[in-house]
Amino acid sequence: MVAKDQPVVIKKYANRRLYNTGTSSYVTLEDLAAMVRRGEEFSVQDAKSGADITHSVLTQIIFELENKDGQNMLPVPFLRQLIAFYGDQMQMIVPSFLEQSMNAFAQEQERFRAQMKDAFSKTPMDMMKMPLPMKALEEQTRANMELFQNAMRMFTPPIAAASGPQPEQTPSGAKDSERSSDLQELKDQIAAMQRQLDKLS
């Protein structure tokens, strides 16, 4: 039996079949998607090597969902921007930014649904007096963008002048101190953003 606080192990075999060790039954990608919606934790392992392949399977689920009619959530401009970040020096920042943004949206999800339900029950005049349901989410997204831009400035080295004398080399100790200060500033900004999320929730 799998402990309640432990994620269920899904084994993937060479024939691409998925086996849920918690229910002792074969499952499909749609079944795994349903588990995600229910908030059930699971990890996917290669049945032969035991390697964790959760990331690739979740990516495959998104691919399958995106190819269903009427279920596209990822706009083309976003996909282009995301692809452009692969191999870029900013690649290490993107996951944290996306995670923070999705966490903000998830925390606002229930309030947003309640506001939308309430809005549909009101007259057009009443709706004009209501605050925009997305206002809080937009503010949080703006805060996330500011954090992301600050991170970009921190990790993007200044462009050297095309001509003229090169700047004096900075001692390695000074570089380490400056990088440490920048990282602490980023941590402080993340902490401030989390406090804003707590207030919103």
165-188 pLDDT, tens per residue? 545 555 555 656 665 666 666 667
pLDDT of residue 32: 97
95 and 56: one domain? no
80, 46 contact by CB (below 8 A): no
* Cross-sheet strand order for the sheet of 8-12: 25-27, 18-20, 8-12, 42-46
97 and 40: one domain? no
97 and 192: one domain? yes
pLDDT exceeds 80 at position 160: no
Let me know if residue 162 belongs to a domain: no
Question: How do strand 18-20 and strand 8-12 relate by DSSP bridges?
Answer: antiparallel
The total domain count for the chain is 2
Would you place residue 24 in the very low, low, confident or very high pLDDT band (cuts 50, 70, 90)? very high
| Average pLDDT score over residue span 35-45 | 95
pLDDT of residue 163: 45
pLDDT of residue 159: 47
99 and 194: one domain? yes
pLDDT of residue 161: 41
pLDDT digits (tens, 9 = 90+) for 87-104: 988 888 888 888 888 887
Most confident range, picked from 18-32, 72-86, 138-152, 182-196: 18-32
pLDDT of residue 23: 95
Phi, psi angle pair for 170, to nearest 5°: -90, 130
Of 22, 8, 21, 11, nearest in space to 46 by CA: 11
55 and 97: one domain? no
Q: 135 or 67: whose pLDDT is higher?
A: 67
> Which residues constitute the domain of residue 147?
80-155+179-200
Let me know if residue 164 belongs to a domain: no
Let me know if residue 170 belongs to a domain: no
Give the single-character DSSP code of 20: E
pLDDT digits (tens, 9 = 90+) for 50-87: 999 999 999 999 999 999 878 888 899 989 999 999 99
pLDDT digits (tens, 9 = 90+) for 111-124: 777 777 776 665 65
143 and 60: one domain? no
92 and 187: one domain? yes
Distance CA 133, CA 180 (A): 39
